[in-house]
Structure 1
Amino acid sequence: MTLKELGGVGVGSLKDANLAMLAKWWWRFKTNPESSWRKVIWSIHHSERSSNPIPGKMTIAGPWKQVIKVSRDTEKYGINLSDCFWADLRVGESVSFWKERWIEGETLQSRYPGLFELERSKNAMVANRVKVINSAVVLNFCWVRLPATTEEVEAVQNMTEDLLAAARGYSEDQWRWEHDESGTFSVKSLKNSLQNARFSNLGNDFVWNNWNPTKVNFLAWRISLDRVPTLIALAHRDVITGQIRCKFYDQQEEDADHLFVNCEVARYLWNFVSHWCKVASIYAFRAKDLLDWHKHV
């Protein structure tokens, strides 16, 4: 399942593909504010007490519950799905002031959790809190109580500086996806990010050759990782318990290097191949040497 860039076969994970396709509904929810299905979801799942960037009541059964749970699965691999979306802010009528990214860095909810607790309307949009009147930025907060402690007052001052520094225009808000250079969400980009987070580099510099049939490429890839079911490999897995010496050359045990390079039969075959291709004789000490041999012809 590991990506080819990490030395794998590049088949892909069905679980990662499923998570990426479910996450696409997050993108659709953000980029289609006027669609009928979004309004239905909002009316059913919206809650002022919820801190989720996407509304969702887990007590309500249905497919939308699975969409909400995607973020939990991606966080297991170090990907915070909420932070992967950010708003290229203009008017701010469709962007949550506290819960969504629209200024540099993290959300205001994460940056100023104390002020978020004082907020009366936690689902307020940017346009409700930041207004531009006669080219001047006017901030309009709605607190449960006024910030009183030194920490709260200092947090208000810092947040005010952040808000005044945020550039705003007068066109429609645009959403951007962090894992793709185009800024547009794609299932492939999230699936690749999940696989890069899940799988470590196999340390295999094998290069897939498009000229070869798939079965030849796959066999060569298995040889590069020493995953060929030779007699020694089968014995290590307790598949066989008998003779592990080469059937053609009884003096040596059958591992990948012997089977493909060192056996007298293998040497004869490679000599025949080099003569048939009209190239210099093929000499190799290990099976992996054969995989790079074509680069030097």
Structure 2
Amino acid sequence: MLQLKAKNLALLGKWWWRFRTEPNIFWVKVIKSICGQDGGMGLSRAILASRKISTWSSILMIDSELRKLNLDFENLFIKSVSNGNNTLFWKDAWLDNKLLYEKFGRLIMLDSNEDALVSERIIKVPAQKAPTMQNNWLPQKFDIFIWRTLLKILPVRVELDKRGVDLESILHPVCNNEVETV
């Protein structure tokens, strides 16, 4: 019985992975038209269980099923941004393997399109080392913050220490337990 459950989880995981990596396939487009751009991946387990799309709901619940076995399915995979046409700016883990809408929850409310692609938000400028944000949809402060984060030049203690700035400690000044990083 255990082998059957493992095989079922593996097959569900395969469809979950195909949804995430093959956005131009017909069945993926159908799911997105029914459940939204993220396919309902952000929905809670209770909402998924109540839906009538039982097969797709089972695929979406693969993450919570594997968490019961102490496996973090979502974080086993790293999203490759490439040209940004297949990566959601807010809802895919493309920057430091974290979702930007979780990291910057209040900023997403300022965006008129929560399902925007990375390619719609970041414009690469060839003369610079890193992509810059050139949009009017967010305050300039955020543009500068993202630009500095990508270049790893935010003045956090770890980066200042790398540049030879003499500091008492590189530990976070509030908790004094962990290194202060971005």
Same fold (TM over 0.5): yes
Partner of 1:245: none
Identity of matched residues, % = 28
Q: Tell me: CA distance 1:140–1:35, structure 2 relative to 1, closer, same or farther (3 Å).
A: same
Secondary structure of the 1:66 match is helix
Of 3, 8, 30, which aligns to 2:20?
A: 30
After superposition, the Cα gap between the structure-2 partners of 1:95 and 1:70, relative to the gap in structure 1 and judged at 3 Å, is: same
d(CA) in 1 for partners of 2:79, 2:34: 24
Does the alignment pair 1:95 with 2:87?
yes
For residue 10 of structure 2, the aligned residue among 7, 17, 20 is 20
- CA gap of 1:164–1:33, structure 2 versus 1, over 3 A, is farther
Does 1:139 pair with 2:136? Answer: no
Letter in 2 for 1:108: L
Runs of 4+ in 1 over 6 A off after TM superposition: none
Counterpart residue number, 2:148: 161
Q: Distance in 2 between matches of 1:164 and 1:51?
A: 31
Q: Residue 114 in 1 paired to residue 106 in 2?
A: yes
Q: Deviations over 1:115-153 (max 9, x none)?
A: 23333211111101111144443314564xx559xxxx5
Whole-Å separation in 1 of the counterparts to 2:74 and 2:61: 12
Q: Mind listing any 5+ residue stretches in structure 2 that lack a counterpart?
A: 153-182
TM-score, normalising length from structure 2? Answer: 0.63
Question: Is the CA contact 1:101–1:108 (under 8 Å) kept in the aligned structure 2?
Answer: yes
- Structure 1: any 5+ residue segments left out of the alignment? 2-11, 166-297
Within 5 A, what are the aligned runs for 1:218-297? none
Quote how far apart the aligned CAs of 1:77 are. 3.2
The secondary structure found in structure 2 opposite 1:102 is strand
Which letter maps to 2:67?
Answer: E
Counterpart for residue 53 of structure 2: 61
User: 2: CA distance between counterparts of 1:115 and 1:51?
Assistant: 20
Deviation string for 1:218-273 (max 9, x for gaps)? xxxxxxxxxxxxxxxxxxxxxxxxxxxxxxxxxxxxxxxxxxxxxxxxxxxxxxxx
Cα distance, 1:142–1:52 mapped onto 2, change above 3 Å: farther
In terms of Rg, which structure is larger?
A: 1
One of 58, 67, 81 as aligned partner of 1:75: 67
8 Å Cα contact 1:22-1:67 kept in structure 2: yes
Q: CA deviation at 1:107?
A: 2.4
CA distance in 2, matches of 1:102, 1:132: 16
Residues in 2 aligned to 1:21 and 1:91: alpha-carbon distance in whole angstroms = 29
Which residue of structure 2 aligns with residue 85 of structure 1? 77
Bigger RCO of structures 1 and 2 (CA < 8 A, at least 6 apart): 1
The 1-side partners of 2:119 and 2:134 are apart by 9
Q: CA RMSD in A?
A: 3.2
Q: Do the aligned partners of 1:130 and 1:140 also contact (CA within 8 Å) in 2?
A: yes
TM-score normalized by the length of structure 1: 0.41
Provide the rounded CA distance (Å) in 1 between the counterparts of 2:108 and 2:71.
23
